[in-house]
């Protein structure tokens, strides 16, 4: 196996730590929902589902990123699998953004910066971050697809 750069080693360590952190978030969120439901400001069932969805999507994104880092460490980043991984990451980020916006909409009636505000709730600027990150991941999938086609055509 080729020698790994400091960036790859650091990225792998960070992704491993974040993966454990997401496991704690999922387990902690579920246990809070079961044993201390008074803390939660939303319906118990909705909170349970939101914890599983957000935690699951976050965990899924981390696994995909770990697989991308593994292919980079093996000096083969421009593969069809990475194109699919970046596309899946982009769509997952969009889903998380839409769900967070929907869940937070009724709670955004408080003062503060809002992109769209009504008497019933509001949409905060965090949706822009999710849109940009989702677009970035989808753009990376297209860049990797183009690099893969160049790589395959140069082998011929």
pLDDT tens, residue by residue, 32-48: 888 877 776 677 788 88
SS3 content of the chain, % helix, strand, coil (to 5): 75, 5, 20
Evaluate if residue 125 carries a pLDDT over 70: yes
Quick one: 30 and 57 in the same domain? yes
Quick one: 65 and 82 in the same domain? no
Distance in angstroms (rounded) separating the CA atoms of residues 35 and 32? 5
Quick one: 105 and 139 in the same domain? yes
Domain boundary, last residue among 20, 44, 75 = 75
Quick one: 70 and 118 in the same domain? no
User: 36: how many CB neighbours lie within 10 A of its CB?
Assistant: 9
Quick one: 115 and 62 in the same domain? no
Partnered with residue 117 across adjacent β-strands are: 122
Quick one: 12 and 66 in the same domain? yes
58-68 pLDDT, tens digit per residue, is 999 999 999 99
Give the chain's domain count: 2
Q: Which of 85, 83, 84, 92 is nearest to 64 (CA)?
A: 85
Quick one: 82 and 156 in the same domain? yes
Q: Which of 122, 105, 104 is nearest to 113 (CA)?
A: 122
Domain range for 121 is: 78-156
Domain boundary, last residue among 75, 94, 113 = 75
Burial class (CB in 10 A: 0-12, 13-18, 19+), 123: middle
> Does residue 92 contact residue 57 with C-beta atoms inside 8 Å?
yes
Mean pLDDT of all residues in 106-135: 75
Quick one: 49 and 87 in the same domain? no
């Amino acid at each position: 196996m080729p020698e790994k750069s400091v960036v790859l080693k650091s990225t792998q360590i960070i992704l491993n730590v974040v993966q454990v952190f997401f496991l704690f978030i999922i387990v902690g969120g579920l246990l809070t929902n079961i044993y201390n439901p008074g803390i939660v400001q939303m319906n118990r069932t909705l909170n349970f589902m939101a914890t599983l969805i957000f935690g699951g999507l976050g965990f899924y994104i981390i696994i995909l990123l770990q697989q991308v880092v593994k292919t980079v460490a093996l000096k083969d980043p421009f593969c069809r699998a990475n194109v699919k991984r970046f596309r899946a990451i982009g769509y997952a980020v969009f889903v998380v953004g839409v769900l967070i916006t929907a869940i937070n909409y009724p709670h955004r009636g408080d003062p503060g910066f809002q992109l769209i505000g009504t008497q019933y709730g509001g949409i905060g600027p965090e949706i822009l971050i999710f849109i940009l990150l989702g677009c970035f991941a989808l753009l990376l999938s297209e860049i990797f697809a183009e690099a893969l086609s160049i790589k395959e055509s140069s082998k011929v």
